[in-house]
Amino acid sequence: MGLSNSSRTRGAFQVKRTIPVLDAQTEKLQQLANTLQAIESIAEVRVDDGRLRVRYDASCVGLRDIERLLDEAGISRPTGFWWRLRSAWYAFLDRNARSNAIGGGGSCCNKPPGIDTSSRPRR
């Protein structure tokens, strides 16, 4: 099952995440896929081989938001070390993308440094 709408996300912050799911019923997964697809910042949702594959705009939606929806739908994820580590890494990357998207960027005063002429010998 897969749904797609890539025009709804901003390319610079678009990410793909693969989330393993445990013993989920097909109708629960389909309902979750429909719920996720209804979110404007989610471009694609696919479920295959016990994995939820999601492509979304990390400047608007994060992995923790998706995990919250999984919990509400009663769909569990692995609890092993490697998934917890990967999940924490994905969440960090999503928070970083969101910070970069809303931050102004550039230097603190947006003025490039000038040439220091005080230490040059005069001719």
Q: pTM of the entire structure?
A: 0.74
Query: What are the boundaries of each domain within the chain?
Result: 2-78
Quick: pLDDT tens for 21-79.
987 788 888 899 999 999 999 999 998 888 899 999 999 999 999 999 999 999 999 99
Tokens of 105: 């960027």
Question: 122 in the Ramachandran plot: left (φ > 0), alpha (ψ -120 to 50) or beta?
Answer: beta
Q: What class does CATH assign to 2-78?
A: alpha beta
Quick: pLDDT tens for 7-24.
455 578 999 999 999 877
Q: CB-based contacts of 73: which residues, under 8 Å, 6+ apart?
A: 28, 31, 32, 35
